[in-house]
Amino acid sequence: MEGRLMNRAVKLCLAGSLVLAILGLPALSLGPETAGAQACVPSTSPVTDPYPGIMAAASNFETGTLDGFGVSTSGTGNASASPGPSHSGNCAALLHTTAAPGSLARLTVGLAAGATEAYADGWFNIAAEGVEGNNVPYFRFFSRGVRVMDVFRQNISHELVLRTSSPAGFAYTTLRQDVPTDSWHRLVMHVVPNGPGTTVQIWWDGRSVFAGTVSISAATVDTLQLGSEHDQQMGDIYIDDVIVNSSTGTPAPVPGPLPVPKVDPSKRFDDFRGDGQATMLAAGTAAVRSGRRRLR
């Protein structure tokens, strides 16, 4: 009797599935169905380096690793390269930190010894807002362990800010009034350190937003950092298509054009696909605010 009832139940299920198929409706599932993330593609062409000097790091993270970068994490902090939100390809680096004590996640790049010029280029997506009175960093330049210049997104106010450090204190320059979360933006910095005569140019999404002279406490830079500098600097930062170069040679002028990859000579003359940004960008203006304030 039980066998006949079981056979009847099976036949009813099969009949129901056939009806659903005829009507074009999805069949019922006995459990949740999850879509797998697309895998990294190691065969993807590497990022093209248009900058002068010696390449310190360059990655689109399609290898699924953070090779080429120094990695430092602690506490609840985590640094990884894996499938997920990305600017190009399927993968990007993710730096995750929380407000918990000891939470750190950062990548570092060593520059040429005695570097008197550096370029840093990358795409960033800040996916999580940090805590009030704090910020989420993009690029930070150091000299002998001292931070001399950085660009960050201030929490709550959402400003994009350039900060410089000199014996006189900190100077802050607002570059953009509002940077939304969950969106990709390109930041390029050209830094020529020279103490109080340091020159810097910054491009944001292909436009020059700062070009001029600032004062810092060093004549060279030796390290570039991405991610949290201290614990409890909460944020989720996706990073992609990073290029870092440095040089001890004669630096390019500031302001100047944003270097772009050379045109492929195999393409037709009228084929402009993939040529990148326009070569000359107008220097932006920014209001400088000097003094100390609650920014970490």
pLDDT in tens, 74-102: 999 999 998 989 999 999 999 999 999 99
For the chain, the domain total comes to 1
Structure-block tokens of residue 243: 């290029």
The residue among 229 and 138 whose pLDDT is bigger is 138
In a domain, 253, yes or no: yes
Model confidence at 243: pLDDT above 70: yes
What number is the average pLDDT over the span 114-133? Answer: 94
**Quick one: which of 98, 183, 94, 106 has its CA closest to 150?**
106
pLDDT at 262: 73
Average of per-residue pLDDT across 38-61: 94
Q: b/e for 234-272, b at 16 or more Cβ within 10 A?
A: bbbbbbbbbbbbbbeeebbebbbebbeeeeeeeeeeeee
Q: Examine residue 68 and state whether it is found in any structural domain, yes or no.
A: yes
Q: Does 4 map to a domain?
A: no
Note the pLDDT tens digit of each residue in 133-159.
899 999 999 999 999 999 999 999 999
The candidate with the shortest Cα–Cα distance to 78, out of 92, 93, 63, 91, is 93
Asked if the model's pLDDT at residue 164 lies above 80, the reply is yes
Asked if the model's pLDDT at residue 161 lies above 50, the reply is yes
User: 261-277: per-residue pLDDT in tens?
Assistant: 876 555 444 433 333 33
Give the structural domain span for 190: 54-261+279-290
End-to-end CA distance of the chain: 75
How confident is the model at residue 266, as a pLDDT?
Answer: 52
Query: How many residues would you count in the chain?
Result: 296
Classify 267 as helix, strand or coil: coil
Query: Does residue 2 form part of some domain?
Result: no
Assess if residue 184 is contained within a domain.
yes
pTM: 0.78
* pLDDT tops 90 at residue 281: no
In the chain, how long is the greatest CA-to-CA distance? 94
Residue 206: pLDDT above 70?
yes
Instruction: Tell me what pLDDT residue 195 has.
Output: 97
Of 121 and 10, more confident: 121
User: Which of 29-38, 57-66, 226-235 shows the highest mean pLDDT?
Assistant: 57-66
Return the pLDDT at 30: 33
Closest CA to 276 of 292, 286, 289, 262: 262
How far apart, in whole angstroms, are the C-alpha atoms of residue 152 and residue 139? Answer: 7
- On whether the CB atoms of residues 86 and 116 are closer than 8 A, the answer is no
* 245: in domain: yes
**Edge-to-edge strand ranges of the sheet holding 160-166:** 70-74, 104-115, 221-227, 135-143, 146-154, 160-166, 169-176, 288-290
Q: Is residue 190 in some structural domain? A: yes
Does residue 272 sit within a domain?
no
Torsion angles phi and psi, residue 167, rounded to 5: -55, -25
Measured between alpha carbons, how far is residue 55 from residues 23, 69, 72, 160, 288 in Å? 59, 12, 21, 27, 32
For residue 287, pLDDT beyond 50: no
CATH number of the domain bearing residue 225: 2.60.120.200
Q: Report how far Cα 254 is from the mean position of its chain's Cα atoms.
A: 23
